[in-house]
Amino acid sequence: MVNLHIDPAFDDAERRRRLFGGDVLVYTHVPEVAAFAAYTREMITELFAPHDPLSIQTVHSPEQLADMLIEFKPRWIHDPRSMDHVRAIARALGCEPAKIHADVPKLRTAFPQGGLSTGIAYAFQVHRDTWYSAPKQQINWWMPVWPVEADNIMEFYPRGFGNVIENNSGDYNYYQANMWRSNIKEFSGGKDTRVHPAPVKPLDADEPRLTVVPPVGGIMLFSGDQLHASVPNTTKATRYSIDFRTVDRADVLSGAGAPIADVASLGTSLRDFHRLTDGEPLDESEIAPYDTADAEGVRVFVPYHHE
């Protein structure tokens, strides 16, 4: 059972409890969210000027778009104003920034079907972020940059929450993935050969789905343990969205979080999370219970080429 809450009045503790139980929350009109979207629209508009960003795939080839995004996305991610917006949104929605650690925000581009869908613009198949080594405390925040539709957004598989779905997350090693990220261009062409955790058997065609379509200026929150996917973009417009992830340090210490009923990935992404007030990471002793001894590779990654 997944409940969808619209503009709930929960405090942050109640909200986290609901999210870890599988509920999805939407805040429809948050001025700080609108400001982040407006700032991002301005940067994207400048990048593609004089062309319309929503139909940019009719102007540039997939190869050109990959090159432009590989330059642009890290610049947007690491612009200090981007994290300022994340901090402002978290505070506006009742988080205490001194308790919250966040990963850098990501900008997603979903081109109409047939366009670039690998590497820097990877279209995610059915997955949980926890299959990608996200901690069970992780809360995902998702917001559109321009208006979105049910046919170019993301969808949930509500029956998957808390239930075992046979998957290959055991083949995924987060520290190995960090090394792939430093060479994202190699995976942005015809084939994307990285390990992408997925169900072993495709879900039934009639598996119930839930698509939530927030307005611009709105934001959706859900557990990183939700089963979800990118919807193949069957519209004519490119979809731009922002997502970022947070954990509350108290949950990391207490072990509170989502069920993670079927997660076998190696390593943890907890080292990517930095305190909203001063950028401090979690202590290694706090991360250790979530790490796996047999994961090898780059534990700390500076995400210049994050998709």
**Contacting positions for Fe ion (CB under 5 A):** 129
CB of 143 to Fe ion, least distance (A): 14
Looking at the Cβ atoms of 88 and 233, the one nearer to Fe ion is 233
Looking at the Cβ atoms of 82 and 140, the one nearer to Fe ion is 140
CB of 140 to Fe ion, least distance (A): 7
Q: Beta partners for 281?
A: 274
What letters, b where the CB count within 10 A reaches 16 and e where it falls short, cover 105-133? bbbbbbbbeebbbbbbbbbbebbbbbbbb
Taking Cα atoms as reference points, which of 171, 196, 51 lies closest to residue 119? 196
CB of 243 to Fe ion, least distance (A): 8
CB of 271 to Fe ion, least distance (A): 19
Looking at the Cβ atoms of 129 and 307, the one nearer to Fe ion is 129
φ/ψ of 108, rounded to 5, equals -105, 140
Separation of alpha carbons 307 and 303, rounded Å: 9
3-class state of residue 107 by DSSP = strand
Taking Cα atoms as reference points, which of 237, 227, 226, 39 lies closest to residue 149? 237
Separation of alpha carbons 138 and 101, rounded Å: 10
CB of 126 to Fe ion, least distance (A): 10
Provide the token pair at 25: 């929350």
Looking at the Cβ atoms of 155 and 171, the one nearer to Fe ion is 155
Residues 245, 103: contact at Cβ < 8 Å? yes
Looking at the Cβ atoms of 188 and 223, the one nearer to Fe ion is 223
Separation of alpha carbons 292 and 298, rounded Å: 13
Name the closest residue to Fe ion (Cβ): 129
CB of 124 to Fe ion, least distance (A): 6
Q: What is the residue-wise DSSP string for 111-152?
A: PPTTS--SGGG----SB-GGGGT--TT-EEEEEESS---GGG
Pairing of strands 106-110, 239-248: antiparallel
CB of 121 to Fe ion, least distance (A): 14
